[in-house]
Amino acid sequence: MAVNISALDRMMPSAVRHFWRARVRAAKSQATRGSADQGNRSGVTAGKNLDGFIDLVREIILDNGLAGAEVYTRKRGQLTIPGFYRPTKNWDLLVVSGGRLVAAVEFKSQVGPSFGNNFNNRVEEALGNATDLNTAFREGAFGQSPKPFLGFFFVLEECPGSTTPVRFTSPHFAALPEFSQTSYAARYEILCRKLVQEQLYDAAALVLTKSEAVKTGDSTVASDLSSPRRFAATLAGKIAAMAAS
């Protein structure tokens, strides 16, 4: 079955540029109003910096032929579905077709300078969201339908703070050896791989990008297993298979 992921190469550079430009605009706007967030949070709280990546994933979905599907990406009220451990959860992208939940994707990002403060929170969010949706599906919250595609898409600033190995302590028991001498970028890559290996998500992507990419749109990947290309191919295959059936 042929799948179409041409949107990945076509739209990735502009998504990266938009990511950095939106952060700069948000920081300038808040500074002008005299209400700048502490640290670099001003670039995050605007909530628009990942829109280019959301549009990219939306394009891949539309390119793979699921006629009649509704792809929701903007209006918050339309991005809400039931949970199991909580009443509802708002996702960043939802695909609904014929009363069936086809896909749910969460988009997250992190930039410096303080990577350590947010890493554990991001891990806990990813685990909790997947567990909540998968259990809700098992309990019939989305009706009689195939298991939906569940995706995790993460954008990380590539800089010395994220790529230099950092220490950790575990005084009572030894940590798993794969975490020894790892940077936060490496830990996010391990997270993405394990989220898929443990079948919590169908695909998880990690995009690394430097702040200079505001002009170039450049990005890199940490591994093939956590690459946007693998994410796109897995999603496209899911959509194409549902379209064919």
Tens digit of each residue's pLDDT (9 = 90 or more) over 106-148:
999 999 888 988 999 999 999 999 999 999 999 999 988 899 9
Tens digit of each residue's pLDDT (9 = 90 or more) over 199-214:
999 999 999 999 999 9
Q: What would the DSSP string read from start to end of 143-183?
A: -S-PPPEEEEEEEEE-SHHHHS------SSSPPPGGGTT--
- Helices 116-138 + 184-197 axis angle, to 10: 10
| pTM of model > 0.75 | yes
First to last CA, the chain: 12
Tell me how far the alpha carbon of residue 35 is from its chain's centroid: 28
Does residue 37 or residue 167 have the better pLDDT?
A: 167
Sequence ranges of the domains in the chain: 6-244
Task: Report d(CA 90, CA 72) in Å as an integer.
Answer: 11
Report the number of secondary-structure helices (H) and strands (E) in the chain: 8, 8
- What is the pLDDT at residue 106? 98
Instruction: Give residues with Cβ within 8 angstroms of 191, minimum separation 6.
Output: 122, 123, 126, 204
Residue 45 has pLDDT above 60, yes or no: no
Cβ pair 125, 75 in contact under 8 A: no
* Residue appearing with tokens 């891949």: 60
